[in-house]
Structure formats: C-alpha cells, structure tokens
C-alpha cells in the first residue's frame, strides 16, 4: 500500500505571518521521518496540516498519492500521538485501545482480537484489564501507540511523544518505537526538538528553522555534510570560525580567519574567493598532537571537565574565539588545566566550510 506523504508546494499562513514557507517534500511509504527544529520553527504546524487539523493556505497535502483537500481529520488515514498521550484514565487498557474501533462500530469480538494483537505488539500482553493509572510512564506510552495503531492508519504522526519521560526511559522507548515501526511497516512522522531522538530513530530528518526546511537527509549525512550554518550548529555540537575565502576548489577551501591565520576545510557548495564563510570543526575532531596535513590553533584552556568516557575542554584563542573540544580520556594529562596553553590540531578533511556567517 502507498502510504507516502507529499507536502506539495505547501504554504501555511496565520494572518500576515507565514509559519511554513513554500515546502515541497515527499516522505516515502514506510519511512521513519522526523522534523527536527527549535521551538516555534513550525513542526506542529506541519503535523497539523498532515492530520487535517489545519488546511494549508496554498498547496496540498497528498497521502498515498491522494489529495487531502477537503478531507476532514477523522476521515484521513492518519493517527496522532500527542505529547500528553491523552489516554482515558478511567477506562481499562483494552478499552483505551479499542475506543477508536468502537466509535467506528467494529464488533466486540473484532475489537478484542485487535487489542490482543496490539498488546502483544507493544509487549503488554497481560495488561488489558489494568487501569491506566496502574501503568508506568513507559507502559502508558506503549498503550498510546497501541491505541493509535488500532484504527490501522497508513501514517502515524507523533508529536514529541517521549518528552514527558525520564532520560533512561526515553532512550529505551526510542528503540521500541523504531522496532514497532519496523514491525508494522507504516509511515512514522515524528516531530522533535531533540536531535538525539531524531538521529537515532529516523531514516531521514528534515531540519527546520523559522518555517523553512534547511536540509533533508539521513542522520549520518546531516552530521557529516551539513548544508547550512544552521544545520552545522543545530545538529550536534560544532565550533564555527568565521573568515573570508582566499582560495577554493571543488574539494577544499582556504579561509583567512584574521588573527587565527589561514585555515582550511572541505567545501560545502559553491564558495567564491572574497566571500564570507564559516569553518566548522566538531569538538571530537581536535587532536593535541599535530600530524602531516593538519592545521593548528593556539588557545588557552578555560575549563576541563571529566565526563567518564571522554574529556571536554573549553578554550579561548587569542582572538577571543571560544572553542569546545572533546578528547578521549586517555589523552588526559596534568598539563591540561585552566590557564594552560594548548595547541589544537584538526585534519582539514574533518572540517567543513559553509557560505555565510550563520549561527556560531
Ligand atoms: P514547539 O516545538 O514549541 O511546539 P513548533 O516548531 O511546533 O514549536 P509551531 O507550533 O508549528 O512551532 O508554530 C510555528 C509558528 O507559527 C510559531 O511562531 C507560532 O507562534 C505560530 N503559530 C502556530 N499556530 C498559530 C495560530 N493558530 N495562529 C497564529 N500563529 C500560530
């Protein structure tokens, strides 16, 4: 079955305010797709246009190739899981799961079959007769998923459903959600401001800022090859060093970074000599020992933190550029302390240069 979702040149305006700029995006059938972005960037608005709670001002939403124009929310092949789950506290677990089917007039025996199957899917076989109040946070989460799946949607929409859970459970539920998605094969559309969630679960992620999709890619590509300064700084941690392009070919770009000298990195897009650009170096790409072909920045240590598996250093260059560095614990030495000088080297192939100044 085709359960793709196509935002077909969709625009959403609230009065004069454009919440979603013109967007053309196809989410494939059976994909785990996330919209990732800071608060207010338009994630919920996109979900609401897909579910039918909002009609786009321009363009269309197509599900399985069918236009959803004029199709009300309750007639769309979608189901939504909200942040607060919205379970019915006085009903049993099975009654919660069966609710949507009962509304649709499905017989008691069919409903029971469905809730048994879904309880098994979410690994809560023995909980059908329990009250919602008797469940833990993670169990409630799974019942919300089971209830949303009961009506056999083609597309499941998830609005930050893990945000109320504690960190451990949240991480565990990421694996469970991914597993449920794999087993059911339906399209999952997930919105979150938590990059960890988006990167661990998704086949592809759309990174959004101010109503605009900045980049759509699989998690590894997003991390390695961000296309915009916003994506470079929002997905994972990054150090941005501003400069002017002094030389560029299709692979490498050299920037004049003023007091920091000339630094280079891989080129992202077309960069012309004389233009402003930002060199991004991830904290984990700094080394204390320089090797052939590496560039070095001299800095002074502000802070050293032992984090268990690694060390984080905050340092400042003489040009007052703050740097964040992550080193393996084995690189710890007594000389790494506040006020000490440090030489930080990086391989130019690990750094990326992106046009513009953007977020740093
Ligand atoms: P959050 O993560 O905080 O939920 P979000 O990324 O989901 O944020 P949206 O709720 O989609 O963001 O809102 C996007 C923008 O549209 C915001 O600036 C918001 O104030 C605005 N907005 C959303 N709904 C309406 C509305 N009904 N009327 C006017 N403006 C709205």
Measured in Å, residue 163 CA sits from the centre of ligand 1 at 18
> Which of 152-156, 216-220, 353-357 has the highest mean predicted lDDT (pLDDT)?
216-220
**How many residues appear in the chain?**
360
Query: Residue written as tokens 């260059």?
Result: 317
In the chain, the largest separation of any two C-alpha atoms, in whole Å, equals 76
CATH number at 5-229: 3.40.50.300
Measured in Å, residue 193 CA sits from the centre of ligand 1 at 13
Percent of the chain with pLDDT over 90: 64
Listed in sequence order, the residues at least 6 apart from 57 whose beta carbon sits closer than 8 Å to its beta carbon are: 11, 12, 13
Pick from 55, 34, 10, 23: nearest CA to 158: 34
> Which of 118-132, 204-218, 287-301 has the highest mean predicted lDDT (pLDDT)?
204-218
For a mutational test of ligand 1's pocket, the pick from 10, 17, 40, 80, i.e. the residue with the most ligand atoms closer than 8 A to its C-beta, is 40
Residue ID of nearest Cα to ligand 1 atom 28: 14
Handedness of CA 257, 263, 267, 271 (dihedral sign): positive
Is the ipTM of this structure higher than 0.85?
Answer: yes
pLDDT for res 360: 44
Q: Which atom of ligand 1 is nearest to the CA of 54?
A: 27
pLDDT for res 358: 55
Mind listing the pLDDT tens digit for each residue in 91-114?
A: 899 999 998 888 888 888 888 898
Helix, strand or coil, per DSSP, at residue 259: helix
For a mutational test of ligand 1's pocket, the pick from 12, 18, 20, 44, i.e. the residue with the most ligand atoms closer than 8 A to its C-beta, is 44
Predicted TM-score (pTM) of the model is 0.90
- All CATH 2.40.50.140 domain ranges in the chain, comma separated: 230-355
For a mutational test of ligand 1's pocket, the pick from 7, 11, 15, 19, i.e. the residue with the most ligand atoms closer than 8 A to its C-beta, is 19
* DSSP symbol at 8: E
Mind listing the pLDDT tens digit for each residue in 334-346?
A: 889 999 999 999 9
- All CATH 3.40.50.300 domain ranges in the chain, comma separated: 5-229
d(CA 330, CA 328): 5
Measured in Å, residue 19 CA sits from the centre of ligand 1 at 7
Give the pLDDT band (50/70/90) at residue 234: very high
Measured in Å, residue 42 CA sits from the centre of ligand 1 at 5
pLDDT for res 28: 97
Q: Which atom of ligand 1 is nearest to the CA of 208?
A: 6
Instruction: Output the ligand 1 site: residues, CB below 6 A.
Output: 14, 17, 19, 37, 39-45, 193
Q: From 3.90.1640.30, 3.30.110.30, 2.30.38.10, 2.40.50.140, which CATH number describes the 230-355 domain?
A: 2.40.50.140
């Amino acid at each position: 079955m085709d359960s793709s979702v196509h935002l077909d040149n969709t625009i959403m305006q609230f009065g004069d305010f454009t919440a979603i700029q013109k967007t053309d995006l196809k989410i494939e059938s059976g994909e785990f797709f996330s919209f990732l972005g800071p608060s207010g960037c338009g994630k919920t608005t996109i979900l609401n246009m897909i579910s039918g709670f909002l009609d786009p001002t321009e363009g269309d939403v197509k599900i399985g190739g069918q236009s959803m124009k004029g199709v009300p929310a309750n007639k769309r092949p979608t189901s939504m899981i909200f942040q607060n789950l919205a379970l019915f506290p006085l009903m049993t677990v099975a009654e919660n799961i069966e609710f949507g089917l009962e509304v649709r007039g499905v017989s008691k025996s069919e409903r029971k079959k469905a809730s048994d199957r879904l309880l098994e899917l979410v690994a809560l076989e023995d909980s059908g007769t329990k009250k919602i109040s008797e469940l833990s946070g993670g169990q409630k989460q799974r019942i919300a998923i089971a209830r949303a799946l009961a009506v056999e949607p083609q597309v499941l929409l998830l609005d930050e459903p893990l945000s109320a859970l504690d960190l451990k459970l949240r991480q565990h539920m990421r694996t469970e959600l991914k597993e449920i998605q794999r087993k059911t094969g339906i399209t999952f559309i997930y919105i979150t401001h938590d990059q960890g969630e988006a990167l661990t679960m998704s086949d592809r992620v759309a990174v959004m800022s101010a109503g605009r999709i900045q980049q759509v890619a699989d998690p590894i590509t997003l991390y390695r090859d961000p296309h915009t300064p916003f994506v470079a700084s929002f997905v994972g941690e990054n150090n941005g060093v501003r400069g002017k392009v002094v030389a560029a070919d299709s692979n490498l770009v050299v920037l004049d970074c003023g007091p920091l000298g000339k630094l280079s990195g891989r080129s992202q897009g077309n960069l012309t000599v004389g233009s402003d650009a930002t060199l991004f170096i991830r904290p984990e790409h700094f080394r204390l020992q320089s090797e052939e072909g590496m560039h070095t920045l001299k800095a002074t240590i502000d802070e050293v933190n032992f984090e268990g598996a690694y060390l984080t250093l905050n340092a400042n260059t003489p040009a007052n550029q703050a740097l964040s560095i992550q080193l393996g614990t084995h690189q710890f030495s007594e000389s790494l302390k506040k006020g000490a000088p440090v030489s930080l080297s990086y391989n130019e192939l690990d750094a990326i240069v992106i046009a513009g100044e953007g977020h740093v």
